[in-house]
Amino acid sequence: MSKKTDLRVMRTRKMIIEAFFHLVEEKGYDGITIQDIADEAMINRATFYAHFKDKQDLYEQIFDFAINAFTSVIDTEQIIVSNRIKVKQIEFLLTNIYINIQKNKNFFLTIMDGSSNELLRKKLADIIYEKYADIFSKLKITENDIEVPIDFIIEYMTSIFIGTLHWWITSDTDMSPNHLARLVIKLVGNGHLTVLGLEIDK
């Protein structure tokens, strides 16, 4: 594929996704047809089908995009250096995630609804596990001689993240992305991460 074709493909996909975002805000996911998306993106249905199998496929690919928006943050090399957690770095990255979510608030409201929320939580947990399992296993975490299973910690961290995010986008709060980031870090950081044998750079 030439660079020119590649750019055109990317531009078309972007138009379809933006049209989808806009329509979800306007009509809700269930109320949208492929024809609506095509009209909004100013393309024909055949062009839509050249990029996505159906509405569900489009949704899942955007869902993966949303997951990537989260996971760009958990780059272990930047965040954990020889068992020291760089809190300022996490705060900066988390704040940026929340800013992105705020910009697409209605979309995230859609994917954090019902069964989608469970899917999101599970995907996040899998990714955190993949990124952190080796670090956690090296730490051999024990709390008062009770070994803490790695998947327990990951489930716990994911639940806090998803739970507080859900509250933030569904309540009428005017809490800023940075305030939320600092609060979540406090929630997870105070005591919980030190239990894991991680030192925290304030």
On the 0-12 / 13-18 / 19+ scale of CB atoms within 10 A, 31 is exposed
**Distance in angstroms (rounded) separating the CA atoms of residues 97 and 73:** 8
Helix (H, G, I), strand (E, B) or coil at 146: strand
The pLDDT assigned to 56 comes to 87
**Distance in angstroms (rounded) separating the CA atoms of residues 161 and 57:** 26
Q: How many CB atoms lie within 10 A of CB 181?
A: 20
**Distance in angstroms (rounded) separating the CA atoms of residues 168 and 190:** 21
DSSP 84: E
The pLDDT assigned to 142 comes to 58
Q: Which two tokens stand for residue 138?
A: 């090296």
Per-residue pLDDT tens listing for the chain (202 residues): 567 778 888 889 888 988 887 887 788 778 899 999 999 999 999 999 999 999 989 988 877 777 776 666 555 555 555 555 566 777 887 888 888 888 878 777 777 766 667 777 787 788 777 776 766 666 655 566 677 777 787 788 788 888 899 899 888 899 999 999 998 888 776 655 555 555 555 5
- Return the ∠ at Cα 28 (arms to 24 and 33), rounded to 5°: 80
- Phi, then psi, of 141 in degrees rounded to 5: -75, 125
Residue 142 bridge partners (DSSP): 147
Q: Angle 34-41/3-27 helices, nearest 10 degrees?
A: 120
Q: Where are the alpha helices (DSSP H) in 73-149?
A: 76-79, 87-103, 105-111, 114-139
Torsion of CA 185, 189, 190, 191, to 10 degrees: 160
CB 32 within 8 A of CB 5: no
The pLDDT assigned to 137 comes to 67
